[in-house]
């Protein structure tokens, strides 16, 4: 748990129901079927795709209207989430991943990111495509994580409390409690695989269950390929070159 306020323009193909729409629409009524709306362009702040029982299946929103965390159909405020994008939901009303993106510039410092994530059941992301950049340092690739079996619902409840905190000190205290809770359960898991690029190197990095890299396949900026075997401390114990 890898994001202003103006609405983003979405070009949609398909059927979209708009309550109180303020744009011209052409209605086509199928015999005994649902009403269908045809239009060329809309500007919205949020679109909810819902199931017949009202549970979310998909949400597209700008940063102002982006939802929080969801478990069993209940929403919990996120203590740090920023930016717009898309959230996916499973049959039980749990958030199970999404698409997010954002950027920022402060003085001569800039940052940007984008990610497409898929969550483990009742847990955090377990596989994702991710790009990040900060001051010219770029990383992009496929990531796979190990996640524990316990539900992160208690962390969502604490996140909601942190988001509602009236002081920064109170918020930081709750964040510390979140970290302590995760640690007491054995942690949130570790990254096991990364396949992509870091700066000018193309790499495949495999890690053990503790998240420590043990095998590294690399093609460097100079075009030289290598395979490195590492011990638990990160020391290269064997290196194979062309």
Q: What is the pLDDT of residues 107-121, one digit of tens each?
A: 888 999 999 999 999
pLDDT at res. 129: 98
pLDDT at res. 136: 82
Three-state DSSP at 72 gives coil
pTM: 0.79
Distance of CA 192 to the CA centre of its chain: 18
Q: Are 75 and 160 in contact (CB under 8 A)?
A: no
The full DSSP string for 122-181 is TSSEEEEEEEEEETTEEEEEEEEE---SS--HHHHHHHHHHHT-SSHHHHHHHHHHHHHH
pLDDT at res. 13: 34
> Checking DSSP bridges between strand 46-50 and strand 56-61, what pairing results, if any?
antiparallel
pLDDT at res. 152: 95
Q: What percent of the chain has pLDDT over 90?
A: 75
pLDDT at res. 196: 98
pLDDT at res. 123: 97
pLDDT at res. 29: 47
Residues linked to residue 214 through DSSP beta bridges, in sequence order: none
207 by Cβ neighbours in 10 Å (0-12 / 13-18 / 19+) ranks as buried
Location of structure tokens 């239009």: 39
pLDDT, tens digit, 9 for 90 and up, residues 166-219: 999 999 999 999 999 999 999 999 999 999 999 999 999 999 999 999 999 999
The angle that helices 153-163 and 168-184 make with each other, rounded to 10 degrees, is: 170
pLDDT at res. 40: 94
pLDDT at res. 112: 92
pLDDT, tens digit, 9 for 90 and up, residues 6-37: 343 333 333 343 434 434 444 444 556 678 88
């Amino acid at each position: 748990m890898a994001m202003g306020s103006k609405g983003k323009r979405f070009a949609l193909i398909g059927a979209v129901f708009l309550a109180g729409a303020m744009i011209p629409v052409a209605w086509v009524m199928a015999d005994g079927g649902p009403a269908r709306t045809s239009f060329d362009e809309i500007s919205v702040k949020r679109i909810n795709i819902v199931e017949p029982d009202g549970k979310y299946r998909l949400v597209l929103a700008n940063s102002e209207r982006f939802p929080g965390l969801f478990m069993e159909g209940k929403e919990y405020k996120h203590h740090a989430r920023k930016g717009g994008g898309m959230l996916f939901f499973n049959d039980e009303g749990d958030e199970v991943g999404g698409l997010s993106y954002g950027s920022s510039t402060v003085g001569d410092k800039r940052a940007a990111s984008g990610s497409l994530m898929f969550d483990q059941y009742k847990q955090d992301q377990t596989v994702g495509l991710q790009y990040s950049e900060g001051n010219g340092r770029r990383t992009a690739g496929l990531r796979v994580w190990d996640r524990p079996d316990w539900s992160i619902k208690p962390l969502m409840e604490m996140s909601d409390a942190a988001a509602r905190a009236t002081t920064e000190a109170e918020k930081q205290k709750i964040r510390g409690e979140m970290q302590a809770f995760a640690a007491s359960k054995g942690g949130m898991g570790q990254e096991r695989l990364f396949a992509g690029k870091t700066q000018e190197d193309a790499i495949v990095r495999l890690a053990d269950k503790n998240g420590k890299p043990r095998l590294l396949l690399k093609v460097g900026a100079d075009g030289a390929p290598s395979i490195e075997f590492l011990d638990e401390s990160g020391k290269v114990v064997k290196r194979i070159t062309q």
